[in-house]
Amino acid sequence: MERSVLDSLGVEIIGVMSPVSICMLLVVLLVSTVSPSASDSAAAAASATTAATLVYDESPSDPPGRRLAGALLNAAAFVALVAAATTLLVVLYYYRFTGFLRNYVRFSAFFVLASMGGSILLSLLRAAGFPLDAFSALVLLLNLSAVGVPAVLSPAVPVLLRQAYLVALAVIVAAWFARLPEWTTWTLLLALALYDLAAVLCPGGPLRVLVELASSRDEELPALVYESRPASASVSHAVAALGTVELQPVEPAPPNPTMSNRNVDPDRTIVEISSLEEETSPLVPNEPSSSGSSDARQRDIAAEREREREGERNQDPSSSSSLLAPALESDAFDTSRGIRLGLGDFVFYSVLVGRAAMYDLMTVYACYLAIISGLGCTLILLSVCRHALPALPISITLGVGFYFLTRLLLEPFVVGASTSLVMF
């Protein structure tokens, strides 16, 4: 079979969409199977003290006006909290409190996995009636959480494990967020989309400042990001013959994978000289669009100093290599490190889909398609704009829009038709 252009186009996009889809699927499964039971009244009371319901504790019996006003207040309070936490993060990063940030990330990863993941594990075990005793469960949980800490931080861990733990973190946090009351969830999502837009694009926005700081220091962003390693990193013989396939650039031009200053033409790939079998995936700039910056209590996806990344580049030659064709050395330095998506984006996409799952499966499909298409649009914009872009606004807006359109318009139409077995 001769190679066709269809084989290689869009690998990185799929590499990002797959974990997002898996995360959403897991959250939908969790939300629909582990539905709140009587024992969750304690959890409900606990959720009443979350940051998102500080101002107004919603209950279904309130009139719509009060619920809307309360939800808006909740969302405003939450966004203010997130903004404050992000600003704190930027200040800490600016004054190079790297040790503190790194340890905080370690603590928060362990905490999320152990306590929040533990309660989800508990409800899963209870729902499935699985005969596991308390001690074994505790040991299992502690071990899993302990492995998770280096998995998300250290470069020496296999990529697949790291990605799996990042997705697991996102699933746990999203499952917790999905327990928020309904109106609060929707207004919160919209408010966070707006905040993300402002924080990444406005000149004074904390995330933009963070990205610029990180790129000016030639360092990684201090945050938990998911990075898709493209599968085309299979090193062919010719490349091995070329010697090093590290991520070290030949020229001293900015080697950092954050995308702000990448003057790479994303449509151009560097193809090895010797064979046209393997090709690097075109670089699509990375996206530190983590609106998932720290929320003091809930989301703990705060900061991370990825200095290890730099060490990783030196130590890890074979993975996600850039294939340097010597004759084609140019400024367009390609790495096939793939697209990077902040973990907060995972979380909020999954929260949206999880909340849609609480209504009906049709809304789930519609919201899934909306979010995926929003993500695709964002990625295409990314390849055009080539600087940090917020991943939340387009997807969340489309998702919320499609949710309400489906719920109000599509469902009576389609259900009425298909229960009469009239289809087209």
Active site residues: 196, 345
Could you tell me the smallest distance in angstroms from the CB atom of residue 339 to another protein? 13
Residues that bind another protein (CB under 8 A): 2-11, 13-14, 17, 267, 269, 271, 276, 279, 360-362, 365-366, 369-370, 372-373, 376, 402, 405-406, 408-410, 412-424
> Which neighbouring-strand residues pair with 32?
none
Query: H or E segment at 307?
Result: helix 307-315
Q: How many CA atoms lie within 13 A of 227 on its CB side?
A: 27
Comparing CB distances to another protein, the nearer of 80 and 410 is 410
Residue closer to another protein (CB basis): 258 or 378: 378
Compare residues 78 and 402 and give the one whose CB is closer to another protein.
402
Distance in Å, CB of 218 to another protein, minimum:
31
In the bound complex, what is the minimum distance in angstroms from residue 185's beta carbon to another protein? 21
Work out the number of other CB atoms within 10 angstroms of the CB of residue 290: 33
> What Rg do the C-alpha atoms of the chain give, in angstroms?
22
**16: buried, middle or exposed (CB in 10 Å: 19+, 13-18, 0-12)?**
buried
CB of 367 to another protein, least distance (A): 11
Instruction: Compare residues 136 and 419 and give the one whose CB is closer to another protein.
Output: 419
Choice between 36 and 401, CB closer to another protein: 401
> Are 31 and 354 a contacting pair, CB within 8 Å?
yes
User: What is the distance, to the nearest Å, from the Cα of residue 35 to the centroid of all Cα atoms in its chain?
Assistant: 24
Q: Show the tokens assigned to 33.
A: 């199977």
Instruction: State in angstroms the smallest separation of the CB of 356 from another protein.
Output: 12
DSSP-assigned states of every residue in 270-302: PBPSS-SS-BPPPP------------TTTT---
Judge contact between 245 and 316, C-beta under 8 A: no
